[in-house]
Amino acid sequence: MKRALAALAFALAASTSAEAYTPASGFWYNPNESGTGIAIEIEDKLLFMATYVYDTQGRPTWYLSAGNLTTSSSGGSTYYNVYNGNLDAYANGQWIGGPYFAPQYFPNAGGPVQIVFNPNDETRATLTWGGRTTQIERLDYYAGFGADKEIQRMIGEWSVVIDAYTRGGDYSVFPYYGDVLVFDLINRDPTPDFFEGCRADTSLIGYCTSNAIHYHDAAGYYDATRDEHVVVVTDVIQTSSSPAQYWAYYLNVNTSDFEGVVEWYFGNDPNSPGNGPYYPVRGFRSGSRSFVLNNGAGPAAAADAPKQAHTPRSLAKMIMDQNGGVMPEGLNAEQVQERYGIDVQAHRAKVQALQASLDK
């Protein structure tokens, strides 16, 4: 009991003082100064970095540094986003194909280094070393697509976790529900372009079957002004006796994950979309664009049996079946704006356009 109470106290303290935030691992550089860079790996709050730069004679040189991130505060929240360390040099070591022997070690040869990661963007940071401060960013593969990158970024498979949030904080049932979304097509006809796909039949398939496209098609767009992605997914198709039902996602998308809110609504409701309630949602890329565009071919390809069509499923019905026939209260638009900085109602017209594209 003491252990449980201590854990609860720690969780409550953490929830009031910090937001979920982890700077992105990968290769970092200043795009205006290509030719040097930093490989950064972050696990929990431990940072390891290896730099590839040059000495004053132009010879390529490596420096390493490792240690814990420390905290800073922004907007009333606390983040592990500051690294202070020393750059250690290594030289005269093994060459490619040669026998191994330990290199020479020169502690603190590169002097102090500081990295302050942007708490509002996990792919941006300020680097200070050698008495100079510069801006760096994580190398983004999708930058090669130019202005099209935010649409191309969504092509792939995304695993989604929805928090069926009860505004009063008292959950009557287990609050988490999952979904798998696949986007495999870009529609150039609308302005801006739409990325299109489906809710996958299963998490093993990796592409949109005819069954998934018929019952659970999906479409989204990128709002460049707000730097937000919006997606609409068909939950239940329209029949002669009932209107169609949809989920509308309002998202802040990072390199390979997203967060935001999702709204369930009826297609014939004049007050929706944009009327809520809204539920917190997080998503993670679980299949690459190559995997999806090759119909699930690759290391994670499913056997034939799991790829067969499945009965359509309503996520809303599943949630309501466990909540006394109603949807949880969720967040309102003001709370979404405060927590995520997303003006959900500003997207209403475009959500309706996405829905119309699915109804065709």
pLDDT tens for 250-271 read: 999 988 899 999 999 999 988 8
169 pLDDT band, cuts 50/70/90, is low
Give the mean pLDDT of 155-159: 95
Q: Report whether pLDDT(275) > 80.
A: yes
What average pLDDT does the structure give for the chain? 87
pLDDT tier at 307, thresholds 50, 70, 90? very low
Q: What is the pLDDT, as a whole number, of residue 301?
A: 44
Q: 316 pLDDT exceeds 60?
A: yes
Q: pLDDT-based confidence at 210, cuts 50/70/90?
A: confident
- CA 258 from centre of chain: 3
- Residue closest to 176 by CA, chosen among 19, 17, 315: 315
Split at pLDDT 50, 70, 90, the class of 101 is very high
DSSP state letters, 118-146: -TT-TTEEEEEETTEEEEEEE--GGGGGG
Residue at token pair 């205006």: 32
Instruction: Give the C-alpha separation, 1 to 266, whole Å.
Output: 46
pLDDT of the residue at 326: 87
Alpha carbon 123 to chain centroid distance? 12
Cβ proximity of 209 and 222 under 8 Å = no
pLDDT at 13 over 80: no
* Position with higher pLDDT, 201 vs 310: 201
- Interatomic CA distance for residues 240 and 210, integer angstroms: 22
Q: What average pLDDT does range 176-186 have in this prediction? A: 94
Fold of the 146-359 domain: Lipocalin (2.40.128)
Contact 13, 5 (CB under 8 A): no
Q: Mean pLDDT, to the nearest integer, of 214-222?
A: 95
Rounded mean pLDDT, 217-239:
96
Domain ranges of the chain: 18-139, 146-359
